[in-house]
Amino acid sequence: MKRVHTLKDLAISLSITIAGAGIFFCHKDLGSCIVVCGLIMLLVFRSGYRIDGKGAVLRKKSADLCKCCKPSILDYLNGMDITPVVKKGNEGGVIHLEVYYNAEEGIAYAQLFEFRNYTYEPETEMVELHYPKAGRLVSQL
């Protein structure tokens, strides 16, 4: 996954930069500080994701779930046509589910992690889901 700019990121950064330029005429130091902050945001702030630098811009949702949900989620990611059981919390251990999605294109990429040895270790590879399965999983998080 590669982090990329979204239209919202660009709009926020540019509006801060333009506001700083306007304030510059009233108060030079404050205006130039706000312009610099806007430009730094333009360089650093990226909230979108893209797989291998191509395709649709994706958003990320993640959740820590109870370990009792693991069989249901694994079956769902392996292609079974079921409604996944999603229960947030930490009863009996923790699994971590990361979903990168684009609602307009109806596509999602999901990966399941299990907490072992004080780190999250991948339990599955990145799985591609299409509409309506993608929407069902994202709506549960």
Task: Give the CA distances from residue 104 to residues 25, 49, 58, 62, 80, in Å, rounded to whole numbers and listed in that order.
Answer: 42, 15, 10, 19, 24
**Average pLDDT, rounded, for the chain:** 85
Residue type, 77: L
Q: What share of the chain is helix, strand, coil (3-state, %, to 5)?
A: 40, 30, 30
pTM: 0.76
Give percent above pLDDT 90 in the chain: 21
pLDDT band at 128 (very low <50, low <70, confident <90, very high): confident
Mean pLDDT of 49-71: 83
* Contact between 108 and 138 (Cβ < 8 Å): yes
